[in-house]
A and B are shown apart, each in its own frame.
Chain A
């Protein structure tokens, strides 16, 4: 059983996944951030692999990528950092990123190295399902990594079921049609999440995009297994002098 599956067996509501760009705010803050997230209530950690052209991201996460790249973060460096994290980080770790740097690293080598440093799952938003099915999915599976597909309010029922059948770990339900960090309101999110629930999906559902505080977290959790916070946490780190303190305050604010 994968670590992610194991998590959802133990806890299937109010699961909190927090995103942070690796190498942000400092090159060597990755592990500090992960520890602080784990200690203060994050159930999963999603690490962004910074990319020069992050199409699905809004200005805040773009900016964190730019800074992380300027700090010198690369996939290779990230794997070295993660190697040291295994003893201290017990929550599942997911890597999120775009296809180009992964292809350049070598797709199979990437999966092999990710698995060997203890990564549990992957989110690659621009890896389409056709290429997943015909080429990459088998490699991901070979190394025991979970692969999480995104669905949106625009995704058809048929397609949601298809993506659910291909996903392992969980389904990432994007709350509205937007790039990350948009302020589109979540008014319609209830109907959308109820619709997802009615499909009887095999995977748990985590809701992302627009989750920023206790209220939005609870709205998301009302009809899903949990939620993902990204932009709001990056924003909090932006002005932070003390990663541990900021993370603690931020998560307290969401969870308590």
Chain B
């Protein structure tokens, strides 16, 4: 008998109703190979040794768990920030790319492809490919290439080839389509490093496992600082959902811990310019898994809107669709404006400039009241350097 917990999907990759591997036959062999081998490879002693060493010496883990004293005082609760922004390349994304490059090597793959929106995952992928001397191709929407120029330059400096996705709406969704098409056309030597807990099984589980180091560290850090491994709340922003999956992972089956996911409301959930997938989406299939998808009545995927390119995605990982559907997670949203305010507020109060994506999670303190005794851990998924242009504009 297979027991599905919140953490563990079924053999076929289902979290409740969501997940699976809805892929054309052309991808079957590659996805099947991954499915058959990812767990075994990830459990190998040599893999674990190399993965842990790189996380420590190259990425800079463990990342601090920081008690934000001024913010805590202001909101009359205990707020801890899990500092993923202090990782090499500035976000949580690299936890996953380090894991996947080691996996790709063990699968004998010589060529890496990835999709990127804001460019954070693209940079994290280009970085590990440089580290290992592997060819790297990053698909990026033509529109995102224009609005995220510094990250495009970083990827190029790291030796990656950035290919514009010119189909559809020319953003993250289309970059993902192009990466999948590349994989179809290069079935033998290529590994696709997906940047979030999306895609066909086993990607959501695999990426969640690589990101789970976030909550693994939180547990012992909380024990040291508060005497208990368990917080009352964990708070994270959700695009596809990888930083949230990592921050929730070791608390998913600890039902006393409240999990709060924050989506991008854009101009407002009902404005027509939003990326709040759980509020606006319906069950459907996007990029190889069944999940919640923002779509028209006719089942055409719609283009979302968010000020943060990393949350500008019309889907959500199947794990999160299940957390929403089952009520295990609380799903909130923050508008562009609320996120901007929260970013400026954190900078002034704690001396930390967060990524725009992360700022959505921080905006929740203005929406939801916590108790004085609550221990709220926020996944500070990334730093704001990449968003300076947007912040500069907001300051004008």
Q: Which residues of A contact B (CB under 8 A)?
A: 51-53, 55-56, 58-59, 62, 66, 69, 74-76, 98-105, 125-128, 130-131, 149-152, 154-156, 159, 163, 174, 177-179, 182, 184
Q: Quick check: is B185 within 8 A (CB to CB) of the other chain?
A: yes
Q: Quick check: is B224 within 8 A (CB to CB) of the other chain?
A: no
Report how far A155 CA is from B167 CA in the complex, Å: 29
Q: Given A52, A125, A130, A159, which contacts B20 in the complex, CB threshold below 8 Å?
A: A130
Q: Given A56, A100, A159, which contacts B26 in the complex, CB threshold below 8 Å?
A: A56
Q: Given A104, A130, A179, which contacts B185 in the complex, CB threshold below 8 Å?
A: A179
Q: Given B185, B285, B299, which contacts A126 in the complex, CB threshold below 8 Å?
A: B285
CB contacts (< 8 Å) of B284 on chain A: these are: 99-100, 103-104
Known: A126-B23, A128-B22, A179-B185; 14 extra A-B contacts, CB below 8 A, are A52-B301, A53-B287, A56-B181, A74-B298, A100-B293, A100-B299, A105-B299, A126-B288, A130-B12, A130-B21, A152-B25, A159-B28, A178-B185, A184-B185
Given contacts A51-B300, A177-B187, A182-B185, contact A103 B285 (CB under 8 A): yes
Bitwise, B159-175 to A at CB < 8 A (1) or not (0) is 00000000110000110
Return the chain A residue nearest B186 by Cβ: A177
Asked if B177 contacts A55 (CB within 8 A), the reply is: yes
CB contacts (< 8 Å) of A127 on chain B: these are: 22
Asked if A149 contacts B25 (CB within 8 A), the reply is: yes
CB contacts (< 8 Å) of A75 on chain B: these are: 298-299
Given contacts A100-B286, A105-B299, contact A177 B184 (CB under 8 A): yes
Given contacts A103-B283, A177-B184, A179-B185, contact A52 B168 (CB under 8 A): yes
Asked if B173 contacts A53 (CB within 8 A), the reply is: yes
Asked if B297 contacts A55 (CB within 8 A), the reply is: no
- Shortest distance between the CB of A230 and any CB in chain B (Å): 14
Asked if A101 contacts B22 (CB within 8 A), the reply is: no
Asked if B285 contacts A128 (CB within 8 A), the reply is: no
CB contacts (< 8 Å) of B283 on chain A: these are: 103
Q: Which residues of B contact A (CB under 8 A)?
A: 12, 20-26, 28-29, 167-168, 173-174, 177, 180-181, 184-187, 282-288, 293, 295, 297-301
Report how far A154 CA is from B24 CA in the complex, Å: 12
Asked if A102 contacts B299 (CB within 8 A), the reply is: yes
Given contacts A55-B181, A58-B181, A62-B167, contact A128 B20 (CB under 8 A): yes
Q: Can you list 9 A-B pairs with a CB-CB distance of less than 8 A?
A: A55-B288, A56-B26, A69-B300, A100-B299, A104-B282, A104-B299, A126-B24, A152-B26, A154-B28
- Shortest distance between the CB of B288 and any CB in chain A (Å): 7
CB contacts (< 8 Å) of A100 on chain B: these are: 284-286, 293, 295, 299, 301
- Shortest distance between the CB of A183 and any CB in chain B (Å): 11
Asked if A150 contacts B24 (CB within 8 A), the reply is: yes
- Shortest distance between the CB of A107 and any CB in chain B (Å): 11
- Shortest distance between the CB of A159 and any CB in chain B (Å): 7
Return the chain B residue nearest A103 by Cβ: B284
Asked if A55 contacts B298 (CB within 8 A), the reply is: no
- Shortest distance between the CB of B249 and any CB in chain A (Å): 26
CB contacts (< 8 Å) of B29 on chain A: these are: 154-156
Asked if A99 contacts B285 (CB within 8 A), the reply is: yes
Asked if A178 contacts B26 (CB within 8 A), the reply is: yes
CB contacts (< 8 Å) of B180 on chain A: these are: 55
Report how far A149 CA is from B287 CA in the complex, Å: 19
- Shortest distance between the CB of B348 and any CB in chain A (Å): 42
CB contacts (< 8 Å) of A131 on chain B: these are: 20, 22
Which interface residue of B26, B173, B300 has the most chain A CB atoms within 10 A?
A: B26
Which 8 A-B residue pairings sit nearest by Cβ, starting from the closest?
A104-B299, A101-B299, A125-B24, A150-B25, A177-B187, A52-B300, A56-B24, A99-B285
Asked if A128 contacts B298 (CB within 8 A), the reply is: no
CB contacts (< 8 Å) of B186 on chain A: these are: 177
Q: Given B25, B167, B177, B285, which contacts A174 in the complex, CB threshold below 8 Å?
A: B25
Asked if A104 contacts B298 (CB within 8 A), the reply is: yes
Return the chain B residue nearest A131 by Cβ: B20
